Amino acid sequence: MSDAIILAKRYFVSGMVQGVGFRYYTQAAAEKLRVSGFVRNLHDGRVEVFAMGAPQQHAEFRAMLERGPRFSTISEVQEETAAPDPQYQGGFVINPSA
């Protein structure tokens, strides 16, 4: 299997994830793992993460999302496949809330 396989996924993180630095934590985790995409707060209290990377990067990234930053409480991480978006190739940004 080639390392060139790039998967795009959306993660929806529930729990105490707003106002605890979760977006900054997610951006730092993504940069460490070289995952590209974005993170943003949702109006319903969840955080949405769009990420593009290799299967192993996604496995490590999801584990970091499930852990969360120090003052967060993660109750659930939902995951769904997504279409790759060239707009986010090569970087990870914090987007405005949706």
CATH number of the structural domain spanning residue 63: 3.30.70.100
| Domain limits for position 46 | 7-85
pTM: 0.94
Of the pLDDT bands very low, low, confident and very high (cuts 50, 70, 90), residue 1 is: very low
Residue numbers annotated as active site: 23, 41
Q: What does the pLDDT look like over 4-34, one tens digit per residue?
A: 789 999 999 999 999 999 999 999 999 999 9
Number of domains the chain is built from: 1
> Does 17 reside within a domain?
yes
Residue 63 within a domain: yes
Answer whether residue 2 is part of any domain.
no
Q: What is the DSSP secondary-structure string of 12-56?
A: EEEEE-SSSSHHHHHHHHHHHHT-EEEEEE-TTS-EEEEEEE-HH
Greater model confidence, 3 or 87: 87
Q: How many residues make up the chain in this entry? A: 98
